[in-house]
Amino acid sequence: MKSITTSRLAMIAIASASLGLAACNSPQQEATEKAADAVEAQSDAAADAMEDQAGMTSGTPSEALENQAEAVEKAGDAKSDAMKDAASKQN
């Protein structure tokens, strides 16, 4: 009987801790993280469009488009990461 009570208390403690961690983000942090996700999605979509365009061309223009697409994707990821880092420091 005692082990059942102990395990129930442990489950309640774990559930409480999980709920507490989930509630740590402020609405401002959530908004910043959503904006960062949007920036990343937009840069990925732009890079994909550039890569598609590169696939329709050949030679040097194709390589240039692929390089630009990679740069756009990296810049978007960097901006998104910076926004997420800033959001995590808003606590």
* CB distance 72 to 53 below 8 Å: no
Q: What gap in Å lies between CA 32 and CA 38, rounded to an integer?
A: 10
Query: Rounded to whole angstroms, what are the CA distances from 42 to 2, 36, 67, 80?
Result: 55, 10, 17, 10
Q: What gap in Å lies between CA 20 and CA 14, rounded to an integer?
A: 10
Q: What gap in Å lies between CA 35 and CA 61, rounded to an integer?
A: 33
- Cβ burial of 90 (10 Å; 0-12, 13-18, 19+) is exposed
- The confidence score (pLDDT) of residue 83 equals 94
- The confidence score (pLDDT) of residue 89 equals 86
**Per-residue model confidence as pLDDT tens for the chain (91 residues):** 444 555 555 556 565 554 444 556 789 999 999 999 999 999 999 999 999 999 999 899 999 999 999 999 999 999 999 999 999 887 6
- The confidence score (pLDDT) of residue 5 equals 52
